[in-house]
């Protein structure tokens, strides 16, 4: 089973890295490890641990809620936009299904987007240019001027 990562984007490219993962449970820790490794050379000032947590939650959601009749993958891409870091997670699920839930204290699931909403400076969901859904988050002042 092959995974794809983009370690060396062009010098002027806003995209700092990307990975393509299979929709299986082992992809969640793989996404965490790869992001930490691939973002390190860029030395962002924002919390890499917070970003890694949010990526973990969004990749988990992509695996749980992504749907396709054909074989499919989860794409994770991260970009530098001025002083901000934007991370996108793409899956073939339907965009209208993305929403923050307010789970009860004894619910075992449903806190992923709540975490993203509380940690990220902003987040967004909508149609992915690859088809399906993209959920993204932004960390402001990742590279203060």
Cβ–Cβ < 8 Å for 125, 133: yes
- How many contiguous H segments (helices) and E segments (strands) does the chain have? 3, 6
Dihedral angle computed from the Cα positions of residues 129, 132, 134 and 135, in that order, rounded to the nearest 10 degrees = 170
Q: Whose CA is closest to 97, among 54, 55, 126?
A: 126
What is the number of residues in the chain?
145
* Residue whose token pair is 């993962």: 21
Burial class (CB in 10 A: 0-12, 13-18, 19+), 80: middle
pTM of the model: 0.87
List the one residue out of 51, 95, 100, 49 whose CA is nearest residue 77. Answer: 51
Q: What is the pLDDT of residues 108-137, one digit of tens each?
A: 555 678 889 999 999 999 999 988 999 999
Q: What is the predicted pLDDT for the residue at 66?
A: 86
Q: What is the pLDDT of residue 110?
A: 56
Stronger pLDDT, 57 or 97, i.e. the higher one? 57
Supply the pLDDT for residue 144: 82
Confidence at residue 1, expressed as pLDDT on a 0 to 100 scale: 47
Judged against a pLDDT cut of 90, whether residue 101 lies above it is answered with no
What confidence tens digit (pLDDT) does each residue in 14-59 have?
889 899 999 999 999 999 999 999 999 999 999 999 999 999 999 9
C-alpha span between 120 and 116 (Å, rounded): 6
Average pLDDT over residues 54-71: 91
- Tell me 83's DSSP state: T
């Amino acid at each position: 089973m092959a995974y794809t990562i983009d370690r060396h984007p062009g010098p002027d490219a806003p995209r700092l890295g990307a990975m393509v993962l299979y929709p299986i449970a082992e992809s969640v820790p793989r996404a965490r490890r790869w992001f930490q490794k691939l973002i390190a050379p860029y030395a962002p000032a924002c919390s890499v641990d917070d970003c890694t947590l949010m990526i973990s939650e969004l990749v988990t959601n992509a695996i749980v809620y992504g749907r396709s009749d054909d074989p499919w993958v989860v794409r994770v891409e991260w970009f530098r936009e001025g002083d901000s870091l934007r991370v996108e997670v793409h899956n073939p699920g339907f965009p209208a299904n993305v929403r923050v839930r307010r789970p009860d204290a004894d619910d075992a699931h449903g806190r992923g987007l709540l975490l993203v909403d509380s940690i990220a400076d902003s987040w967004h969901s909508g149609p992915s240019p690859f088809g399906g859904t993209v959920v993204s988050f932004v960390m402001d002042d990742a590279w203060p001027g």
